[in-house]
Structure 1
Amino acid sequence: MHPVPAETQHQQHVPAHEADSGEALYERDIFEYLRSMERAPGRLPAANYMDAAERDDDGLTPARRAALVGWLVSAAECLEIHSRTLHLAVSCLDRFLSSAAAADAVTIAAAALFAAAKYEEVWPPRAKHFVKVSRNGHPFDDGDNRGAACFTKTDLIEAEVVVLEALHHDLSAPTAYTFLEHFLERLRAQQNTKDDDEDLPLLASYIAELGLLDYGMLRFRPSVVAASALLVARLTTRPREPPWGDGGALEAATGYTTAELEECAVALHRLHLHSGDDASGPGYDEINDKYSEKEFNDVYTLLPLEDLVGTMEAVGLIAPRVDSAGDENSAGDVSNKEVAVLIGAIWCVLKGNEEGNNLPRKFVFGEVHRHRMENQEKELLPMVHAGSVRVGQ
């Protein structure tokens, strides 16, 4: 329902000797059309629309926008709406906010999802279903008003009209999810084989969805976000090998070189790296809960790369960085490995006294660091038992 369609849901691959067949040409035409759409004026949200909104003093901030997106993620899950529709709804919301202020941002966001569902879904939810879901909580409060609807059916329908008029009744817009589906299919067709990395499409979808939370990601085109999410996901699941043999396969499928994707990939990786932190920000819990489900192979629990750029260097995607002194690493820098060892050591110390041993691990370190700490604990505890590391002192 939600993830990027699995191998069995795709049409048969185009063999190499049929690369110039009508099917391949048709797919290529669609891809070029999508690329032209994202380059067309007004088709994508303004990357700096929040500046004007803040001058209008309507209370819209990047954090409140992230809360809205998180609310949309939760609503889409409750209404069994596809991730493709969710991405389109966020795009419509940002496009609307690029040209108009929202007196009631929650109702406008719901209206964007309502309209997007009619555009994408075979059986879109009705207005009354949206009203019912809105009783689960308001994105801008602490849950005190749970049970009270955020809007009425009339409010939603009227807001839908406002959104459609602002978008000139044109909802069609390429999203990162749209491109992600195309890129995955093109990679499969190139290799003419089944990719045994089952987590890859789901993890790429998760990372791209995290990108919806960050207002700053609007500076990247959807195709760049999709290609970067795919790159980060592949390096996360297989960090010791070049993606798909070498960077050429990814470039052939996406049209982007690794160098062109690096900035966006680093931004997405940062979101992924901190997605499990207790103070990660609004919207993360909703996306993490979604991708913790069996339906998504629980890809949220996959440990993020500690060092994306270092991994890209190690597999030969980019040249090693050298500082002004000629050293690849500054003498004052602390490596991720050293941080992980320190975290593991601290936990071993905490286990040396009753109070620390009873503390929940997530409470002490946050979700992401908890995984790292557990890995280092396995290495350090034998030394503790051998007496080479003393705890509780």
Structure 2
Amino acid sequence: MATRRVIPQQVRGDDPVVAEAKNRRALGDIGNIASLLPGVEAGKVNRPLTRNFRAQLLENANKKQINVAKKLEAVQRKTRAVVKPPPQQTHEVIVISPDTNEVAKAKHDAASSKKKVTYTSVLNARSKAASKTLDIDSADKDNDLAAVEYVEDMYSFYKEVENESKAQMYMQTQTEINEKMRSILVDWLVDVHVKFDLSPETLYLTINIIDRFLSLKTIPRRELQLLGVSALLIASKYEEIWPPQVNDLVYVTDNTYQSKQILVMEKTILGCLEWYLTVPTQYVFLARFIKAAVPDPEMESMVHFLAELGLMHYDALKFRPSMLAASAVYTARCCLNKTSVWTETLEFHTGYSEHELMDCSKLLAYIHSRVGESKLRAVFKKYSKAERCAVALVSPAKSVLSSTPAP
């Protein structure tokens, strides 16, 4: 058994300094050296971390950081002073042209290109191109919905794509329906359109949907009316704020079809047409061309009367919607004996000359001449009322009929 070292106790009366030194050496031997912080020499006692001492340490650390930041800033200044961006080289362009007019024109074009495109500048450009044509959009320059700055571009686009949505002649592929059945269907749809008080856009889109569908798919005769009422439902949903309910359409068919049949046919039509409903119909062009004609109420009603008569006739499908609309305006002006039948303004905005419209106008005039003999009276009754100036009672255009061949 190991023996412990006996440390003699301090004898009273001994020198207190000597005794204190002995005690400190003993404490140092116990292990205070191992408990010292790194960087503190052995045998030295750490100074207590008081508030004043802590503040002094923080101040010293801040001074070091400030000195480092100053050195970095000085280095960056030297770097910026050494690396300077190269001076921009200026290229002098010398234009050699003996023609002073060309120089003046170039300066004028450069100055005008910096100008902001305004409504006035657009109208001036159009007026130069249209020479003596009237500005039909001047009254709508403050109407944002009229989009007068873009309307010419819009109608140019419509004329480019109208053939894509134009129905092809299809009766040769239909085995159970004929032209007369189509006319009966359109006449019935005109009557339903009036009863529901729908917009003109709905009627034209309905006929467009029917013809496009029939040009793609063969249907039996018993489903022709179902096709018509389903097309009317689709067009109403597209154009109207409050479209008719399916039950209302079942009622107008005298319960020939059920609601489910109409909805199934609606889905079939949309799938066949690939949901392509945004098309420039004849009414889109009618709105523009009637405006170009500067019409009175009687002439406007006459144009719509002739256009809807054309909807009923199968042979009208061979003409483009824009040509049908322009021909309706031309034929209406001939019926009402306008002094200038086809003005430069109409030719500019429609894009058709009087000669180009003659074939289509002859067809419309012929249909008009036979309307009194027809048993299909929906369009005739619609435009025989005083609210539409009773234009159905006006005699057909003799100037056009004089050279109309019998179809």
Please indicate the TM-score interval, normalised by the length of the shorter structure.
0.5 to 0.7
Change (3 A) 1:157 1:222: same
Q: Using the TM superposition, give the Cα deviation of residue 247 of structure 1 relative to its aligned residue in structure 2, in angstroms.
A: 3.4
Amino acid at match of 2:161: M
Equivalence for 2:172:
51
Instruction: Give the counterpart letter for 1:25 in structure 2.
Output: E
Q: Report the residue type matching 1:14 in the other structure.
A: D
Conserved? CA contact 2:305–2:392, under 8 Å: yes
Instruction: Pick 1 or 2: higher relative contact order, CA cutoff 8 A, min separation 6.
Output: 1
The aligned residue for residue 86 of structure 1 is: 203
Partner of 2:178: 61
Matched residue type, 1:80: D
Please report how far the alpha carbon of residue 24 of structure 1 lies from its aligned counterpart in structure 2 after TM superposition: 3.0
* Equivalent residue, structure 2, for 1:200: 299
1:184-223 Cα deviation digits (max 9, x unpaired): 22344xxxxxx4x321111110100000111111000000
TM-score by length of 1: 0.63
Write out aligned runs for 1:1-393 (5 A): 14-15=137-138, 23-40=147-164, 43-46=165-168, 48-53=169-174, 57=175, 59-103=176-220, 104-135=223-254, 149-188=255-294, 195=295, 197-238=296-337, 241-243=339-341, 246-277=342-373, 280=374, 284-308=376-400
CA distance in 1, matches of 2:267, 2:238: 14
Q: Amino acid of the residue matched to residue 126 of structure 1?
A: Q
CA distance in 2, matches of 1:208, 1:86: 11
Contact 1:78 1:133 in 2 (8 A): no
Separation in 2 of the partners of 1:309 and 1:25? 39
Residue aligned with 1:260, SS: coil
The amino acid of 1:39's aligned partner reads N
Q: 2-side partners of 1:93 and 1:176: how far apart? A: 14
| Pairwise CA distance, 1:309 | 5.5
Report the secondary structure of 1:49's partner residue: coil
- Quick one: structure 1 residues 154 and 294, their matched pair in 2 at CA, closer, same or farther if it must change by over 3 Å? farther
2:292–2:345 contact (8 Å) kept in structure 1: no
State the 1:80 CA deviation.
1.3
Ranges in structure 1 where 5+ consecutive residues have no aligned partner: 1-11, 136-148, 189-194, 311-320, 322-393
Runs of 4+ in 1 over 6 A off after TM superposition: none
The offset of 1:274, in angstroms, is 1.0
Measure the CA separation in 2 of the matches of 1:236 and 1:306.
Answer: 8
- Work out the CA distance in 2 between the residues paired with 1:116 and 1:167: 13
| Max Rg structure | 2
Q: Residue 384 of structure 1 corresponds to which residue in structure 2?
A: none
Q: Contact 2:334–2:399 at 8 Å: present in 1 too?
A: no
Letter in 2 for 1:50: M
Structure 1 position 242, deviation (Å): 1.9
Structure 2 Cα separation of the partners of residues 27 and 125 of structure 1: 31
**1:374 corresponding residue in structure 2:** none
What's 1:8 paired with? Answer: none
TM-score normalised by length of structure 2: 0.61
Please report how far the alpha carbon of residue 66 of structure 1 lies from its aligned counterpart in structure 2 after TM superposition: 0.5
Tell me, in whole angstroms, the C-alpha distance in 1 between the residues paired with 2:137 and 2:180: 44
Q: How has the CA–CA distance of structure 1 residues 39 and 77 changed in structure 2, closer, same or farther, with 3 Å as cutoff?
A: same
Name the CA shift for 1:116/1:295 in 2 (closer, same or farther; >3 Å): same
Distance 1:309 1:65 in 2: 25
2 CA distance for matches of 1:179 and 1:13? 15
* C-alpha separation in 1, matches of 2:241 and 2:224: 27
Unpaired runs of at least 5, structure 2: 1-134
The answer (yes or no) to whether the contact 2:365–2:401 under 8 Å persists in 1 is no
Given that 1:211 and 1:217 are in contact with CA atoms closer than 8 Å, whether structure 2 keeps it comes out as yes
Please state how far the C-alpha of 1:308 moved relative to its aligned partner. 1.3
Aligned-partner Cα distance in 1 for 2:246–2:387: 26
Is residue 87–residue 177 contact of structure 1 (8 Å, CA) maintained in 2?
Answer: yes
Question: Is this contact kept in 1: 2:229–2:249, CA < 8 A?
Answer: yes
The 2-side partners of 1:212 and 1:155 are apart by 26
Q: Which amino acid aligns with 1:166?
A: C
The amino acid that maps onto 2:274 is H
1:14 deviation in Å? 2.9
Q: CA deviation at 1:13?
A: 5.5
Structure 1 residues 299, 175: CA separation in 2 closer, same or farther (over 3 Å shift)? same
8 Å contact 1:273–1:306 — kept in the other structure?
no
